[in-house]
Amino acid sequence: MSTEQTLIKQLEKSNAFQAFKKQHPSAYLAHLFFVEGTGEQSPEAGYYLPEEDKIAIFSTYPFRLKEPPQSVFKKEGTVKPLDLRHVAVSLSSAKKTLKQLLADKHPALTATKTILILQHLDEPIWNATLVTTSLQFLNVKISAKSGRVISDDIHNIMSLGTRK
């Protein structure tokens, strides 16, 4: 069993999750969220509530609902369920892929913070954002089925608020 599966299994056994599930029986796992680097935090799990089109975020260690369900930041349509049985690439493997990508394509960049989200878009993916010392960020999408890098884009943080 993967680290991600173990984490969800433990969360779903918790009293906090059991109480939530009684109130929201149709809720399903939508994403896992990990942060590494400055200001590191415990992993989080997001559960989508289709009848409300909202997301509930659980923190881990301790397991608890962080806040009431919130509106979902997404494109039109529903949020797809994240089925961990279809995830072949672990968090540690995704981090190795990111490290190799940095070394091969962006050797001048040094990441100070890495945010990884495991979610289902067209397929299960690791959606990673690396914040660098040079005020740039690198967004990388990795197939959670094959480990293939789907895309990698680099942006200057200063250009975030500007439109082209």
Closest CA to 131 of 13, 39, 58, 60: 39
Axis-axis angle for helices 3-13, 91-105 (nearest 10): 140
Long-range CB pairs of 62-65 (<8 Å, 24+ gap) are 63/10, 63/11, 63/14, 63/16, 63/17, 64/16, 65/16, 65/20
Q: What is the pLDDT of residue 126?
A: 98
- Cα separation, 133 vs 110, in Å, equals 6
Tens-place pLDDT, residues 8-59: 999 999 999 999 999 999 999 999 999 998 666 789 999 999 999 999 999 9
Which CATH code is given to the segment(s) 85-159?
A: 3.10.450
Mean of pLDDT over the chain: 92
The amino acid occupying position 55 is I
What is the pTM (predicted TM-score) of this model? 0.91
Tens-place pLDDT, residues 47-69: 999 999 999 999 998 999 998 89
What percent of the chain has a predicted confidence (pLDDT) above 70?
93
Between residues 105 and 135, the one the model is more confident about = 105
Is a pLDDT exceeding 90 seen at residue 80?
yes
Q: Domain spans of the chain?
A: 3-84, 85-159
Is a pLDDT exceeding 60 seen at residue 163?
no
- Can you point out the beta strands (E) in the chain? 28-37, 41-49, 54-59, 64-65, 70-71, 111-120, 124-132, 136-143, 149-156
Q: Positive or negative CA dihedral for 32, 139, 1, 37?
A: negative
